[in-house]
Structure 1
Amino acid sequence: MEDDQMAEHQIGDYVKGKKFGSFEHDFEGEIEKVYENAVLIHILSFDNEDRILVGELNNRAIVRKGDATPAKVKAE
């Protein structure tokens, strides 16, 4: 079942990424690249406590596919 979920990730999908490493909170963004077991997320929404880290990462993070779940895009 998880393999089916992982196969659904596509470039342009808006997802929520689980906190990892130095992140204090989960974050959200758009998938820029899909790898075999991970995705590259362009981080668009994050907690202010993670502001410096997100800047150091150039607003991008590589996340395991299982840790990237669909998220609703915030109304602008």
Structure 2
Amino acid sequence: MKLMAELHVGDVVTAKKFGPFEHNFGGELEKVYENSALVLIDDYNDADSMTVSEMNRRAVVKNGDIKVIKAAPVPEPDPDEENADDAEDEKK
């Protein structure tokens, strides 16, 4: 099994062509699912402009077909939220 980097909202990525696309494309991750991610397409070949328009500049792509070009900064966890979660667990 191939290990890959985690995907995060805001990552700038490239994705392999599929379905109606004639060329690979790029964009930013809007949402990350378990096995795929929603890409907001902003970098594409002119030959795919009709496809991109029809798809409202968005495509759901398999995680294995995504390559991260620039990772989004991952925010540090808020210690106050962690303490609130611990206190809530203790009440149960």
Task: Give the alignment's TM-score, normalised by structure 2.
Answer: 0.72
Q: Distance in 2 between matches of 1:36 and 1:25?
A: 25
Secondary structure of the corresponding residue to residue 71 of structure 1:
strand
Runs of 4+ with >4 A deviation: none
Q: Give the paired residue count.
A: 70
Cα RMSD after superposing both structures:
1.3
Matches within 5 A, 1:15-34: 15-34=13-32
Secondary structure of the corresponding residue to residue 5 of structure 1:
coil
Q: Which runs of 5+ in 2 are unaligned?
A: 71-92
Structure with higher strand content: 1
How far off its partner does 1:71 sit? Answer: 2.1
- Asked which structure has the greater CA Rg, the reply is 2
Bigger relative contact order, structure 1 or 2 (CA pairs below 8 A, ≥6 apart): 1
Aligned to 2:49: 51
Task: Give the alignment's TM-score, normalised by structure 1.
Answer: 0.86
Q: Which runs of 5+ in 1 are unaligned?
A: none
